[in-house]
Chains A and B, each alone.
Chain A
Amino acid sequence: KAGVTQTPRYLIKTRGQQVTLSCSPISGHRSVSWYQQTPGQGLQFLFEYFSETQRNKGNFPGRFSGRQFSNSRSEMNVSTLELGDSALYLCASSLLLQGPGELFFGEGSRLTVL
């Protein structure tokens, strides 16, 4: 069974640009959540999707957006990039929305903003 796949794994952008990150969940998983991780920080919750609907959103500015497609694949977009957006962006999938079950994480997309 394939795990959670995130693309691209690494990318470099400059301030003001925008970026789109992709996440393919484990087959059969309908819940996808996104996290931002910076050095010394925990995982900061960005948003959570289930059945193509955003169910929860973290405390990030409107430059951060996402969506989920009918096949459960998800994308997140960051517009007008700032230096502080440099981080590891992690996607996780699970069978249930807000269930007690484990989250399965991808390897992440490491974004560097210059």
Chain B
Amino acid sequence: GQSLEQPSEVTAVEGAIVQINCTYQTSGFYGLSWYQQHDGGAPTFLSYNGLDGLEETGRFSSFLSRSDSYGYLLLQELQMKDSASYFCAVRSGKLIFGQGTELSVKP
């Protein structure tokens, strides 16, 4: 089957750095994406990795290792507004999402 595994919850303090891991097992692979969702609203795109390595976009970075079927999202200088659910997603024909990681940022 096809599956993506990510932690269900992560807690961190304001100003800290947090890493959300994602491992995947899919029949095909055309890239790993990350999405953010606040309180059941519209998910918004954060980043995409099609090749191995690190992609940086402001405070957010995403990493991919295709040989390990693994990626992560790194959030730096955490702010309260970063409290949200974060989903990894793999393009394997259709776009398959993980279960989501709920990030709580404490003051």
Residues of chain A having any CB pair with chain B under 8 Å = 3-4, 33, 35, 37, 40-45, 48, 56, 58, 88, 90, 92, 98, 100-108, 110
Interface of B, secondary structure class, is strand
Interface CB pairs A-B, < 8 A, 20: A3-B42, A35-B97, A37-B40, A43-B89, A45-B96, A56-B93, A90-B42, A92-B43, A98-B93, A100-B50, A100-B91, A102-B48, A103-B43, A103-B45, A103-B95, A104-B45, A106-B42, A107-B42, A108-B41, A108-B42
Number of A-B contacts (CB under 8 A): 60
Query: In whole angstroms, what is the CA distance A70 to B100 when docked?
Result: 34
Which residue on A lies nearest to B31, using beta carbons?
Answer: A100
In the complex, what residue of chain A is closest to B6 when comparing beta carbons?
Answer: A42
| A98→B30 contact, CB < 8 A | yes
A100 adjacent to B95 (CB under 8 Å): no
Please indicate which of the listed interface residues A4, A37, A44 has the most CB atoms of chain B within 10 Å of its own CB: A37
Residues of B within 8 A of A98 (CB): 30, 91, 93-94
Report the interface size for chain B: residues with CB under 8 A from the other chain. 24
Q: How far is the CB of B33 from chain A (nearest CB, A)?
A: 7
Which of A56, A88, A106 is close to B40, meaning CB atoms less than 8 Å apart? A88
Give chain A residues whose Cβ lies under 8 Å from the Cβ of B99: 40-42
